[in-house]
Amino acid sequence: MLIVANWKAYVETMEKAKRLLSVAKRLSMAGHHEIVIAPSAPHLGYLAGGNRTSVEFAAQDVSQTLGGAATGEVTAGLLADLGVSYVIVGHSERRAAGETDAIVLEKTRHALAHGLIPILCIGERERDAEAAYITHLRTQLSSVLSVLSQKERMRMVIAYEPIWAIGKSAAESITSADLTEMVLYIRKILGEFLPGKGNLKVRILYGGSVESANARTLAASSGIDGFLIGHASVDAASFGAIAKAVS
């Protein structure tokens, strides 16, 4: 399983960041999963620099610009130079701040051009009776995949994160049956862009209130390749319990 910890802006001190990282290192040394930590930009700079452990790092976002006069931006080049492996693009919290599919595409392309692996977040705001959410997911995926080369498509990680399930509790998260259906649908779209076995190289993660109480059930038969975890990833005990639950 690929387990990505999205610390968002939850971790406010370096002391806590270091503590959480040492838990992640222990889990990663246990060897069951690929553990990726996505700290805030300042903590990423501190923790990822000179990283020699099996824990990998992700940026929570990347700039649309490539450099130059762009105050406050963190470019793909800077992240690559730091040794960061992954970049989350199109997270719903960034989309809510105005990020369009076109911007997500640009960020994805910058990440790929610098050797970073994009974790492309897609997900519907609500499950409407007319199933418009299905079309919404197709649009979010196609707007990026249609522009990439076959080789670039195979480097993508897709994180299915229904917005209605984010930041709640395990009891309010997606059901295993619904997740299985959504993973099948996402795989079908991936198959259109990567026919044959190529699409199997693309990992599909689930994110949205994954906690120790639902991790095992969600992972069991849904076809997902891992999780993107928000609030439960900044609680050392919960994060450890999730990793153990899906071992």
Catalytic residue IDs = 91, 161
Residue number with CB closer to ligand PEP (47 or 210): 210
Residue number with CB closer to ligand PEP (45 or 167): 167
167 binds ligand PEP (CB under 6 A): yes
207 binds ligand PEP (CB under 6 A): yes
| Binding segment (CB under 6 A) for ligand PEP, from list 69-77, 111-119, 138-146, 226-234 | 226-234
Q: Up-side HSE of residue 42: CA atoms within 13 Å toward CB?
A: 8
Q: Which single residue is written with the structure tokens 């762009």?
A: 70
161 binds ligand PEP (CB under 6 A): yes
Determine the 3-state secondary structure of 83 from DSSP.
coil
Residues 6+ apart with CB under 8 A from 139: 101
Q: Is 68 left (phi over 0), alpha (psi -120 to 50) or beta?
A: left
CB of 150 to ligand PEP, least distance (A): 28
What counts of helices (H) and strands (E) characterise the chain? 10, 8
Residue number with CB closer to ligand PEP (107 or 193): 107
95 binds ligand PEP (CB under 6 A): no
Specify the amino acid at residue 31: G
Residue number with CB closer to ligand PEP (80 or 242): 242
166 binds ligand PEP (CB under 6 A): yes
**Residue 68 near residue 93, CB atoms below 8 Å:** no
Give the binding site for ligand PEP (CB under 6 A): 6, 161, 166-167, 207-210, 228-232
